[in-house]
Homo-oligomer: A and B are copies of this chain.
């Protein structure tokens, strides 16, 4: 296959390095940019480069940030007594998306995984244990995916957090997804959702 232009060939090659973007999609995107105003390509290229080169990590919660403190930690309207521990930045964004949480976060940067050689010291665990006594934190919510590695990490954190008897520890509820049908739930989820049933207020 001959591309009529090296410039478009390069753009397609770069775009198709992105996850989930095949060569066909990359070509469609490149041709879209060629047809649109040149301003739109300029602002896309600039936004990507600025994001990559200017982004930093919050000194408090290790979330992505524009300055030393992320906008969530800097927000005085949020509940700084409640910290939600997640493994990854995308979990922060997913939880923010629900608009159901008003506390702050702590991003571990992964989960404990002996197979991948990731131990507790590779994660932002020490900084969490240091952060608690220095802050007004009253509750730590463990919002870590219920996978084997996630459960190991949550177990390790729970043990470490016993150091702080005044701090409540909770985990996000597990169970049947809202709108999900019981018969299609996997057995483990269904089993857990019965064992950890929630009592209705009456």
Contact = CB atoms under 8 A, between A and B. Distances in A.
A5 interface: yes
A125 to B, nearest CB: 20
Interface in A34-88: 34, 38, 40-55, 58, 63-66, 70-72, 75
A7 interface: yes
Interface residues of A, number: 60
Interface in A96-134: 96-97, 99
A85 to B, nearest CB: 15
A1 interface: yes
Given A3-B96, A28-B19, A40-B17, A10 B72 contact: no
A8 interface: yes
Where chain A touches its partner, the secondary structure class is: helix
B48 A11 contact: yes
Contact of A99 (B1, B4, B49): B1
A141 interface: no
A199 interface: no
Interface in A153-173: none
**Quick one: which of A1, A52, A53 has the most chain B CB within 10 A?**
A52
A51 B10 contact: yes
A176 interface: no
A28 to B, nearest CB: 7
A92 interface: yes
**Quick one: which of A3, A53, A75 has the most chain B CB within 10 A?**
A3
Interface of A: 1-8, 10-11, 13-15, 17-21, 25, 27-34, 38, 40-55, 58, 63-66, 70-72, 75, 89-90, 92-93, 96-97, 99
